[in-house]
């Protein structure tokens, strides 16, 4: 299937399955890019990678209520479908944009996916139930679209890890690929929530990428996990207006914290609040 100027908008599961059936009958490979909309260049990088890997690219746009806590920003999360469709023109073949009632006709899923113990750490500790809700909707999307490959952003590293774990544990016939983080020229990781930041808050938000850079510089110098972590934390000490949630260095194979004297690959994860906006970021390290 070739791309069209405007992606086909599919509002129902039945219509999406019909498109998938037709593509399969023609021997086409399918890529799925799950999103919550408010698309930016990071999302478009996922779509571009999907285009490289498959003949048909489906982008889902669905703000999933199950992954928002009661005090989080579900109601004000940006919903920009017309702009998203314009951004996807010429790259995605179809956009699956269901309503909440279409995805959860009974009001909520009676059956959910439990994300396991890793989901109780880091993002999961700050957002209880978030990853159960995320994996539940991802499992539904994978079942609906039945893709050969699904693309996720590396910025949400814990999410990508847990999706891969679910796919392996449940023997789902799909390959999961994490696409590298896309950043602004000054280092800020692209995020749909960046639009919440005021001009002064955006400057403060650079503390996250500065902390990652400091930790990477320490690891590049051959310093320990403990020293790299301390270098990252020092950046937050210099910016008390940025409220650190967590900064941790994990083993990317298990997502468990690395010991202070560990060697090998690491991944530094950080989350912080700038004003009312909560941001996350990460970067690979080596010790």
Does the annotation place 182 within a ligand binding site? yes
Do the annotations mark residue 155 as ligand-binding?
yes
Is 153 labeled as ligand-binding? yes
Q: At which residue do the structure tokens 């995805």 appear?
A: 103
Is 27 annotated to bind a ligand? Reply is no
91 annotated as belonging to a binding site for a ligand: no
Q: Is 156 annotated as a binding residue?
A: yes
The answer to the question of whether 40 is labelled as a binding residue is yes
42 assigned ligand-binding residue: yes
Q: CA 12, CA 95: separation in Å to the nearest integer?
A: 11
Dig out the tokens for 65 from the structure: 């209520």
Look up residue 195 and give its DSSP letter. G
Distance CA 67, CA 91 (A): 28
Of residues 207, 226, 210, 216, the one with CA closest to residue 272: 207
**Token pair listed for 235:** 């950046």
Q: Does residue 36 have a known ligand-binding role?
A: yes
Q: Residue 286 catalytic?
A: no
The residues, any chain, with a CB within 8 Å of residue 168's CB and separated by 6 or more, are none
* Token representation of residue 226: 């403990």
Contact call for residues 232 and 207 (beta carbons, < 8 A): no
193 assigned ligand-binding residue: yes
Give dist(CA 124, CA 162) in Å, integer: 11
DSSP bridge pairs for 151: 177
Decide: 249 and 215 in contact? Cβ < 8 Å. Answer: yes
Strand pairing report for 149-153 and 8-10:
unpaired
Rounded-to-integer distance, Cα 62 and Cα 30, Å: 19
Q: Which is catalytic among the residues 43, 114, 130, 286?
A: 43
Q: Is 124 annotated as a binding residue?
A: no
Please indicate if the annotation marks 239 as binding a ligand: no
Distance CA 106, CA 215 (A): 47
Q: Is 158 annotated as contributing to ligand binding?
A: no
Q: Does 114 carry a binding-site annotation?
A: no
Instruction: Mark the binding-site residues for (R)-pantoate, compressed into ranges.
Output: 67, 159
Q: Which residues are catalytic?
A: 43
Q: Which residues contribute to the annotated binding site for ATP?
A: 36-43, 153-156, 182, 190-193
Q: Which residues are annotated as a binding site?
A: 36-43, 67, 153-156, 159, 182, 190-193
Which residues line the annotated binding site for beta-alanine? 67
């Amino acid at each position: 299937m070739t791309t069209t100027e405007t992606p086909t908008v599919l509002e129902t599961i039945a219509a999406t399955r019909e498109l998938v059936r037709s593509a399969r009958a023609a021997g086409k490979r399918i890529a799925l890019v799950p999103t919550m909309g408010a698309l930016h260049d990071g999302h478009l990088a996922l779509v571009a990678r999907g285009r490289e890997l498959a003949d048909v690219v489906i982008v889902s746009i669905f703000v999933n209520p199950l992954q928002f806590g009661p005090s989080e920003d579900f109601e004000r999360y940006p919903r920009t479908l017309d702009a998203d469709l314009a951004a996807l023109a010429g790259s995605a073949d179809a956009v699956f944009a269901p309503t909440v009632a279409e995805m959860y006709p009974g009001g909520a899923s009676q059956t959910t996916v439990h994300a396991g113990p890793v989901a109780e750490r880091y993002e999961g500790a700050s957002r209880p139930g978030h990853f159960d809700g995320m994996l539940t909707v991802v499992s539904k999307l994978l079942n609906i679209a039945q893709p050969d490959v699904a693309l996720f952003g590396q910025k949400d590293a814990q999410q990508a890890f847990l999706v891969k774990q679910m796919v392996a544990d449940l023997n789902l016939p799909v390959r999961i690929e994490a696409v590298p983080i896309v950043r602004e020229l000054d280092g800020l990781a692209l995020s749909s929530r960046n639009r919440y930041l005021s001009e002064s808050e955006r400057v403060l938000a650079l503390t996250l990428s500065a902390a990652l850079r400091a930790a990477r510089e320490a690891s590049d110098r051959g310093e320990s996990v403990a020293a790299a972590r301390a270098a990252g934390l020092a950046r937050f000490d210099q910016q008390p207006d940025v409220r650190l949630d967590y900064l941790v260095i994990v083993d990317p194979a298990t997502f468990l914290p690395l010991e202070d004297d560990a060697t090998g690959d690491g991944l530094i994860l950080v989350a912080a609040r700038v004003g009312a906006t909560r941001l996350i970021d990460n970067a690979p390290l080596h010790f």
